[in-house]
Structure 1
Amino acid sequence: MTPAVAGLVCLTMAQGAAAETTRLGGVYDVSVSGFKIARGSLSLVLQKNAYSAKIGMQPAGIGTLFSTGKGGAEASGWLNGRSVVPSRYKMASRAADRDFFVDLAQGSGHVRKMRVTPQFKPNPERIEVSSKHKRNVVDPLSAILMPVKGHSGKPDASVCKRRIPVFDGWTRFDIQLSYKETRSVSGRGYDGDVVVCSARWIPVAGHRPSKESVKYMAENRKMEAWLAPLGSGGVFVPYRIAMGTKSGTLVVEPRKLEISQGRDQAAR
Structure 2
Amino acid sequence: MHFFGKSGIGAAFGGLLVGLAVQTAACAQARLDARYVVTLAGVTLGEGSWLVDVREDSFAAEAKGSTAGLAKVFSSGHGTTASRGAIKNGQLVPASYAIYVKWGKRFEDLRMKIKDGAVKELTILPPAVEHPDRVRVTEAHRRNVLDPMTGSLLRVPGKGDLMAPNVCRQHAPIFDGRMRYDLTLAFKRIEQVKTAGYSGPALVCAIYFAPLAGHVPNRSAVKYLIDQRDMETWLVPIAGTRVLVPFKVVVPTPVGNGVLQATQLAVTPLPTRASMTAQ
TM above 0.5:
yes
- Alignment pair present for 1:211 and 2:211: no
Mapped partners of 1:248, 1:91: distance in 2: 27
- Alignment pair present for 1:160 and 2:183: no
The SS at the match of 1:120 is coil
Q: Deviations over 1:210-229 (max 9, x none)?
A: 11111111111221000111
**Of the candidates 161, 185, 190, which is equivalent to residue 193 of structure 2?**
185
Question: Could you say what the CA RMSD is over the residues aligned between the two structures, in angstroms?
Answer: 1.8
Q: Which residue of 1 aligns with 2:178?
A: 170
Q: Structure 1 residues 199 and 82 mapped into 2: Cα distance closer, same or farther (>3 Å)?
A: farther
**Of the candidates 100, 117, 137, which is equivalent to residue 145 of structure 2?**
137
**Of the candidates 94, 98, 102, which is equivalent to residue 90 of structure 1?**
98
5+ residue gaps, structure 1, are 6-18
The answer on whether the counterparts of 1:137 and 1:167 sit within 8 Å (CA) in structure 2 is: yes
Q: Which residue of 2 aligns with 1:122?
A: 130
How far did 1:238 drift? 1.0
TM-score by length of 2: 0.86
- Alignment pair present for 1:112 and 2:130: no
**Of the candidates 224, 229, 234, which is equivalent to residue 221 of structure 1?**
229
Q: Which residue of 2 aligns with 1:54?
A: 62
TM-score by length of 1: 0.89
The answer on whether the counterparts of 2:17 and 2:79 sit within 8 Å (CA) in structure 1 is: no
Q: Deviations over 1:112-166 (max 9, x none)?
A: 0110123333333211100110111111111111112113353111211111111
The answer on whether the counterparts of 1:162 and 1:178 sit within 8 Å (CA) in structure 2 is: yes
The residue type equivalent to 1:69 in the other structure is G
- Alignment pair present for 1:32 and 2:40: yes
The answer on whether the counterparts of 1:82 and 1:146 sit within 8 Å (CA) in structure 2 is: no
The residue type equivalent to 2:108 in the other structure is F
Identity %: 28
Q: Which residue of 2 aligns with 1:251?
A: 259
User: Which range moves more in the overlay, 174-183 or 139-148?
Assistant: 139-148
The answer on whether the counterparts of 1:153 and 1:232 sit within 8 Å (CA) in structure 2 is: no
The answer on whether the counterparts of 1:109 and 1:138 sit within 8 Å (CA) in structure 2 is: yes
How far did 1:81 drift? 3.4
**Of the candidates 78, 83, 86, which is equivalent to residue 75 of structure 1?**
83
Query: When the two structures are aligned, how many residues end up with a matched partner?
Result: 255
The answer on whether the counterparts of 2:195 and 2:265 sit within 8 Å (CA) in structure 1 is: no
The answer on whether the counterparts of 1:21 and 1:46 sit within 8 Å (CA) in structure 2 is: yes
Q: Which residue of 1 aligns with 2:204?
A: 196
The SS at the match of 2:166 is helix
The residue type equivalent to 1:208 in the other structure is V
Q: Which residue of 2 aligns with 1:12?
A: none
Mapped partners of 2:179, 2:90: distance in 1: 24
Q: Which residue of 1 aligns with 2:157?
A: 149
The answer on whether the counterparts of 1:100 and 1:117 sit within 8 Å (CA) in structure 2 is: yes
The structure 1 segments of at least 4 consecutive aligned residues displaced by more than 3 Å after TM superposition are 1-5, 264-268
Mapped partners of 2:266, 2:57: distance in 1: 20
Mapped partners of 2:195, 2:176: distance in 1: 33
How far did 1:49 drift? 2.3
5+ residue gaps, structure 2, are 1-10, 19-26
The SS at the match of 1:239 is strand
How far did 1:96 drift? 4.7
**Of the candidates 32, 39, 44, which is equivalent to residue 52 of structure 2?**
44
The SS at the match of 2:148 is coil
User: Which range moves more in the overlay, 75-84 or 140-149?
Assistant: 75-84
Mapped partners of 1:238, 1:97: distance in 2: 31
Bigger share in strand:
1
Relative CO higher for 1 or 2, CA cutoff 8 Å, sep ≥ 6?
2
